[in-house]
């Protein structure tokens, strides 16, 4: 059982430089860079073979949407070496990135106001990092297959985050600090892992992992806590630690799929207020 800020947390280090390096892709194409400072910003980038992109905007009605591609079975100059970037600093932020196949990557950093963000990556080296700081936060990441990863960190206001990863090296980390927190993580198969840390106000976190090395860990500190973890076959584990307010926890882990069965483990530590716990482990 472990409180983990996996290698994804280290990815925050590339928030400002993920795509800035404008890597050299041999004879391949695409690359794009937009930098804007103020007023009614808007962007829309669409690239097909060999991508990279980067947008940085400072203030006003920000918005951007990037879509990079490499469809299996369709010839392109080089495989899609997707990569994105996007930093927006103030006002009506929003962002949306969708990358399809190959070396996916993404990074969105938004600072203040009506934040948004929605990333959707499809296949191969997926990874994402999203950091939003203040106001109507929201995030939604959906990654498809291979070395998934994600990290979403929001600091203050109407937080929400939803991560869905599908197959292979999954991992996630969601940290939300203050206001209407929420978080929903759903990972499907392989080396699953998760970690959700919510600090204050209407916390909730719901994790559902389906098969393989599962693991979870939810830590929360204060206010309307509620957590629920449901894991299914193989390496189970879970650990919930809540310090105070209307607590409630539910964990349910099921059968081990390899080496003949059981793996379960759980642990709930709570200090004060409306506690209620339920753990059900099976075979």
Spell out the domain ranges in the chain: 21-282
47 vs 25, 36, 51, CA distance in Å? 14, 20, 6
What is the Cα–Cα distance from 225 to 182, expressed in whole angstroms?
10
* Residue 23 pLDDT: 41
Residue tagged 């379960």 (tokens) = 264
Residue 40 has a pLDDT of: 87
Residue with tokens 């059981």: 262
Which segments in the chain show pLDDT lower than 70?
1-28, 30-31, 33, 70-79, 257-260
- Distance from C-alpha of 150 to C-alpha of 86, rounded to nearest angstrom: 16
Q: What are phi and psi of 179, to 5 degrees?
A: 115, -135
pLDDT of residue 123: 82
Phi, psi of 56 (to 5 degrees): -140, 125
Q: Which of 133, 141, 142, 135 is nearest to 166 (CA)?
A: 142
- Side-chain-facing half-sphere of 181: CA atoms under 13 Å: 30
Residue 28 is predicted with a pLDDT of 67
Predicted local distance difference test score (pLDDT) of residue 12: 41
The Cα 54–Cα 66 span in angstroms is 9
**Contact, 251 vs 273, CB < 8 A?**
no
- Which residues are CB-contacts of 212 (< 8 A; sequence separation ≥ 6)? 189, 190, 191, 192, 233, 234, 235, 257
CA 195 to chain centre: 10
Q: How far apart are CA 100 and CA 74, in angstroms?
A: 12
Phi/psi at 239 (5° precision): -170, 125
Q: What is the CA radius of gyration of the chain?
A: 20
Q: What is the pLDDT of residue 165?
A: 92
Q: What is the pLDDT of residue 252?
A: 93
Question: What tokens appear for 266 in the block?
Answer: 């759980």
Place of tokens 């700081």: 133
Q: Are 16 and 129 in contact (CB under 8 A)?
A: no
């Amino acid at each position: 059982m472990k409180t983990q800020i996996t290698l994804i947390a280290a990815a925050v280090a590339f928030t400002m430089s993920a795509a800035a390096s404008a890597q050299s892709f041999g004879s391949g194409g695409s690359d794009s860079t937009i930098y804007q400072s103020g007023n009614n910003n808007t962007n829309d980038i669409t690239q097909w073979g060999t991508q990279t992109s980067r947008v940085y905007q400072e203030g006003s009605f920000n918005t951007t949407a990037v879509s990079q591609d490499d469809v299996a079975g369709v010839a392109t100059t080089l495989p899609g070496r997707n990569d994105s970037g996007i930093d927006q600093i103030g006002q009506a932020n929003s962002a949306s990135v969708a990358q399809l196949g190959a070396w996916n990557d993404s990074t969105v950093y938004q600072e203040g106001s009506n934040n948004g963000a929605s990333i959707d990556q499809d296949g191969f080296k997926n990874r994402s990092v999203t950091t939003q700081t203040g106001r109507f936060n929201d995030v939604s990441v959906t990654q498809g297959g291979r070395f998934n990863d994600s990290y979403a960190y929001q600091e203050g206001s109407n937080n929400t985050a939803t991560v869905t990863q599908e197959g292979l090296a999954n991992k996630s980390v969601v940290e939300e600090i203050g206001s209407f927190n929420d978080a929903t993580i759903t990972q499907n198969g392989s080396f699953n892992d998760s970690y959700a840390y919510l600090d204050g106000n209407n916390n909730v976190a719901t994790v559902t992992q389906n098969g393989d090395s599962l693991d979870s860990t939810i830590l929360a500190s204060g206010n309307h806590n509620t957590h629920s973890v449901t894991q299914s076959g193989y390496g189970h584990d879970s650990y919930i630690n809540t310090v105070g307010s209307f607590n409630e926890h539910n964990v349910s882990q099921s059968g081990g799929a390899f080496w003949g069965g059981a793996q379960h483990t759980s642990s709930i530590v709570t200090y004060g207020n409306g506690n209620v716990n339920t753990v059900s482990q099976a075979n």
